[in-house]
Chain A
Amino acid sequence: MPLAIGTTLSRRRFLTLTGVLAAGSLALSASTLWPRWARAEPELATRLLRLGRDIYPHEAIADRYYLAPLTPLLGEQRELIAAGLDDLDRRARAAHGRDYAAVDSAAEREALLRQIEDGEFFQAVRNTLVVGLYDTPELWQAHFGYEGSSWEQGGYVGRGYNDLVIDWL
Chain B
Amino acid sequence: MSTRFEHDDDGVLVIIGSGAGGGTLAHALARKGIKSVVLEAGKRYALEDIENDEWAMFEKISWLDERITAGPRQLSETFPNLPAWIVKGVGGSTIHWAGVALRFQPHEFRLHSEVGDIAGANLLDWPISYEELEPYYVQAERHMGVTGDASGMPLHDWNNNFMVLAEGARRVGYEKLRAGPMAINTRPYDDRPQCMQAGFCMQGCRFGAKWSTMYTDIPRAEATGYCEVRPNAMALTIEHDERGRVNAVVYADAEGNLQRQRARAVCVAGNSIESPRLLLNSHSALFPDGLANSSGQVGRNYMTHATACVFAEMPKPVNMHRGTTFAGIISDEARLDRSRGFVGGYTLEVMSLGLPFFAKFMDPANGGWGRDYAAILEKYDHLSGVWICGEDLPMEENGITLHDSRKDQYGLPVPIVYKGDHPNDEALRRHGQQQARSCYEAVGAVRVFDVPDFPTSHNVGTNRMSARPEDGVVNQWGQAHDIDNLFVSDGSQFTSSGAENPTLTIVALALRQADHIAERMSRGEL
Provide a sorted-by-A list of 12 A–B residue pairs whose CB atoms are within 8 angstroms. A117-B367, A130-B359, A145-B382, A147-B319, A147-B321, A151-B206, A155-B197, A161-B323, A162-B159, A166-B163, A166-B164, A168-B315
B360 at the interface (CB under 8 A from A): yes
Instruction: Let me know if B322 and A159 touch, CB within 8 A.
Output: yes
Complex-state Cα separation, A156 to B201, whole angstroms: 13
Binds B, one of A3-11, A14-22, A55-63, A75-83: A55-63
A157 at the interface (CB under 8 A from B): yes
Whether A146 touches B366, Cβ cut-off 8 Å, given contacts A56-B374, A156-B198, is no
B152 at the interface (CB under 8 A from A): no
What 7 A-B pairs have minimum CB-CB distances, sorted nearest first? A145-B381, A155-B196, A155-B198, A149-B52, A161-B323, A134-B359, A164-B160
Complex-state Cα separation, A159 to B321, whole angstroms: 12
Instruction: Let me know if A164 and B318 touch, CB within 8 A.
Output: yes
The A101-132 residues at the B interface (CB cut-off 8 A) are 106, 110, 113-114, 117-118, 122-123, 126, 130-131
B209: min CB distance to chain A, Å: 9
B42 at the interface (CB under 8 A from A): no
Residues of A contacting B368 in the complex (Cβ-Cβ under 8 angstroms):
126, 130
B157 at the interface (CB under 8 A from A): yes
A1 at the interface (CB under 8 A from B): no
The B339-381 residues at the A interface (CB cut-off 8 A) are 354-356, 359-360, 366-371, 373-374, 377-378, 380-381
Complex-state Cα separation, A156 to B24, whole angstroms: 31
Q: How many residues of B contact A (CB 8 A)?
A: 49
Instruction: Let me know if B377 and A144 touch, CB within 8 A.
Output: yes
Whether A57 touches B381, Cβ cut-off 8 Å, given contacts A117-B366, A134-B359, is no
A145: min CB distance to chain B, Å: 3
B47: min CB distance to chain A, Å: 10
Instruction: Let me know if A58 and B374 touch, CB within 8 A.
Output: yes
Instruction: Let me know if B164 and A168 touch, CB within 8 A.
Output: no
Instruction: Let me know if B163 and A148 touch, CB within 8 A.
Output: no
B289 at the interface (CB under 8 A from A): no
Contact of A149 among B51, B195, B360 (CB under 8 A): B51
From A152, which residue of chain B is reached at the shortest CB distance? B52
Instruction: Let me know if B377 and A134 touch, CB within 8 A.
Output: yes
A2 at the interface (CB under 8 A from B): no
9 additional contacts (CB under 8 A) given A56-B373, A150-B52: A134-B359, A145-B380, A146-B355, A148-B53, A156-B323, A160-B160, A162-B160, A164-B319, A168-B316
From A140, which residue of chain B is reached at the shortest CB distance? B355
A12 at the interface (CB under 8 A from B): no
Residues of B within 8 A of A (CB): 51-55, 157-160, 163-164, 167, 195-200, 206-207, 314-319, 321-323, 354-356, 359-360, 366-371, 373-374, 377-378, 380-382, 443-444
From A149, which residue of chain B is reached at the shortest CB distance? B52
Complex-state Cα separation, A135 to B357, whole angstroms: 9
Contact of A169 among B207, B366, B443 (CB under 8 A): B443
Instruction: Let me know if B196 and A157 touch, CB within 8 A.
Output: yes
Tell me the dominant secondary structure on chain B's binding face. loop
Residues of B contacting A155 in the complex (Cβ-Cβ under 8 angstroms):
195-199, 207
Complex-state Cα separation, A52 to B354, whole angstroms: 22
Instruction: Let me know if B321 and A146 touch, CB within 8 A.
Output: yes
Instruction: Let me know if A110 and B207 touch, CB within 8 A.
Output: no
Residues of A contacting B444 in the complex (Cβ-Cβ under 8 angstroms):
168-169
Instruction: Let me know if A161 and B52 touch, CB within 8 A.
Output: no
Contact of B158 among A143, A144, A160, A162 (CB under 8 A): A162
B308: min CB distance to chain A, Å: 20
Instruction: Let me know if B197 and A143 touch, CB within 8 A.
Output: no
Complex-state Cα separation, A155 to B159, whole angstroms: 13
B159: min CB distance to chain A, Å: 5
A72: min CB distance to chain B, Å: 14
Instruction: Let me know if B317 and A145 touch, CB within 8 A.
Output: yes
Whether A149 touches B53, Cβ cut-off 8 Å, given contacts A118-B366, A161-B159, A164-B163, is yes
B215: min CB distance to chain A, Å: 15
From A133, which residue of chain B is reached at the shortest CB distance? B359
Instruction: Let me know if B370 and A110 touch, CB within 8 A.
Output: yes
Complex-state Cα separation, A133 to B369, whole angstroms: 13
Instruction: Let me know if A55 and B197 touch, CB within 8 A.
Output: no
A138 at the interface (CB under 8 A from B): no
Complex-state Cα separation, A150 to B52, whole angstroms: 7
From A143, which residue of chain B is reached at the shortest CB distance? B378
Complex-state Cα separation, A131 to B196, whole angstroms: 28
Instruction: Let me know if A130 and B360 touch, CB within 8 A.
Output: yes
Complex-state Cα separation, A147 to B317, whole angstroms: 13
Max count, chain A CB within 10 A of own CB: residue among B197, B206, B323: B197
Residues of A contacting B377 in the complex (Cβ-Cβ under 8 angstroms):
56, 58, 134, 144
Whether A161 touches B53, Cβ cut-off 8 Å, given contacts A131-B360, A146-B380, A169-B443, is no
From A160, which residue of chain B is reached at the shortest CB distance? B322
From B56, which residue of chain A is reached at the shortest CB distance? A135
Complex-state Cα separation, A167 to B52, whole angstroms: 31
Complex-state Cα separation, A163 to B185, whole angstroms: 20
Residues of A contacting B315 in the complex (Cβ-Cβ under 8 angstroms):
168
Instruction: Let me know if A151 and B198 touch, CB within 8 A.
Output: yes
Instruction: Let me know if A151 and B196 touch, CB within 8 A.
Output: yes
Instruction: Let me know if A166 and B367 touch, CB within 8 A.
Output: no
Residues of A contacting B360 in the complex (Cβ-Cβ under 8 angstroms):
130-131, 134
Instruction: Let me know if B378 and A130 touch, CB within 8 A.
Output: no
Residues of B contacting A126 in the complex (Cβ-Cβ under 8 angstroms):
366, 368-369
Instruction: Let me know if B317 and A154 touch, CB within 8 A.
Output: no
B406: min CB distance to chain A, Å: 22
B311: min CB distance to chain A, Å: 14
Instruction: Let me know if A164 and B164 touch, CB within 8 A.
Output: yes
Residues of B contacting A163 in the complex (Cβ-Cβ under 8 angstroms):
160
Complex-state Cα separation, A161 to B354, whole angstroms: 14
Complex-state Cα separation, A118 to B370, whole angstroms: 14
Instruction: Let me know if B319 and A160 touch, CB within 8 A.
Output: yes
From B163, which residue of chain A is reached at the shortest CB distance? A164
Residues of A contacting B198 in the complex (Cβ-Cβ under 8 angstroms):
150-151, 154-156
Instruction: Let me know if B356 and A135 touch, CB within 8 A.
Output: yes
Residues of A contacting B359 in the complex (Cβ-Cβ under 8 angstroms):
130-131, 133-134
Contact with B along A26-66 (1 / 0, CB 8 A): 00000000000000000000000000000111100000000
Complex-state Cα separation, A157 to B196, whole angstroms: 5
From B194, which residue of chain A is reached at the shortest CB distance? A157
A140: min CB distance to chain B, Å: 6
